[in-house]
Structure 1
Amino acid sequence: MTTAWTAGLYDWRLYASKGADRQLIASGQMEIEADFASLTAGHDPRSHAKRMLDAINTVLEGRILSDHESYTIDDRRLDRIPIMELHKLRRVYIQKVRSEKGNGFRLKRVLTRLPA
C-alpha cells in the first residue's frame, strides 16, 4: 500500500541476486499521486512543465496584440522576453510535457546470465 507515502516521484531498481552476486536488471521512476479525496479546494493537478507551457502560450497569445518588447513610462522600464525566445522555451516545454505523458511503467524483456 502507498497510503503512507508522500505524493511525488520515486526511483526504483530491480535486481537479480544469486548468492553474493547481484545484477541490476532495470530501473526507472514511478509517480505516487496524491489521494484525490484529500486534495484541498483550488488544487492544480498540472505538472510544472504543463503550467509553464500554459503560461508561455498565454503570454504569446497576449503578445500578438502588443508587439512591444520593451517600453518606458515615467522613468520605469519594462523589458519582455523576445518572442523568438518564448517560442524556443515553448518547444522545450512541449517536449517535457510529451515525455511526462509517455512515462508509463512498461515491462520489458531483459535477458541476463548470473555466474554459476
Structure 2
Amino acid sequence: MEPTNLHAGDSVAWSRAVLAYPAALGWSLHYVLNGPERHAFEAGAGVAYEVKLSAADTASWAPGLYRWVALAINGDQRVTVDTGTIQVDPNWETASPEDVRTHAARMVALIEAALEKRIPKDQQSYEIDGMRLDRIPIERLRELRMQYQRELGSQRRPSGPTGRTIKARL
C-alpha cells in the first residue's frame, strides 16, 4: 500500500494489487500527486503493480502535504482506483537551516528575553510625538511564561507509564 510519509531524497517502493484492472488485459496504473508541486509516475506492471521511486526521483520534491490519486488506464478508459494523502518531509541533505524548536520552546525564549529587557526599564507605556506604545504588563508576561513552560514540560515528558507506583487493595 502507499506510504503516508516520506522524506524527499529517500527511495520508496510499494505495490498495489488491482484485480479488476489487470495489466494482462492492457491496463496500467498511474499515480498523480498534487500539493506544493505536481508529480506523476506509472507503476510497473505485474500481478500487483509495483512503484519504485529512487532517491534521485524524490530528491527535489517540495515538502508539504500532497493528495494522491491512483488511476487505472486502458486506452481512452480511466478509472480512479484509490485516493489518499502523503506528507513529504524535507530532504535533509539540501534543506535550509531552520529553528526546529516547538512553538512553546520558542515562546518561552521570547518571553524570557522580553522580561530581561524590561526589568531595568519597567515602563508599561510611553508616548513620543503623539505615538503611544503599550507593553505587555510584566505580570501577564510571567503568566504566559508559566503557561508555555507547562506546555513545554508536557511535550518533553515521555508518553506512556509515568513510573509512579500505584497501589491497589484487592
TM-score range, shorter chain: 0.5 to 0.7
Q: Give the residue type in structure 1 aligned to 2:147.
A: V
Q: Greater RCO between the two (CA within 8 Å, min separation 6)?
A: 1
Which of residues 95, 113, 123 in structure 2 aligns to 1:68?
123
Partner of 2:106 in structure 1? 51
Give unpaired runs (5+ residues) of structure 1: 8-31, 108-116
Q: Give the residue type in structure 2 aligned to 1:48.
A: H
Partner of 1:93 in structure 2? 148
Shift of 1:39: 6.3
Shift in CA distance, 41/4, structure 1 to aligned 2, threshold 3 Å = closer
Shift in CA distance, 39/78, structure 1 to aligned 2, threshold 3 Å = farther
Other structure's SS at 1:71 match: strand
TM-score (norm 2): 0.41
Please tell me whether Structure 1 or Structure 2 has the larger radius of gyration of its CA atoms. Answer: 2
Across the aligned residues of Structure 1 and Structure 2, the Cα RMSD in angstroms comes to 3.0
Paired with 1:69 and 1:36, the residues of 2 have a C-alpha distance of: 46
Give unpaired runs (5+ residues) of structure 2: 9-62, 65-86, 162-170
Shift in CA distance, 67/36, structure 1 to aligned 2, threshold 3 Å = farther
Partner of 2:6 in structure 1? 3
TM-score (norm 1): 0.59
Q: Please state which structure has a larger fraction of its residues in helix.
A: 1
Shift of 1:4: 5.7
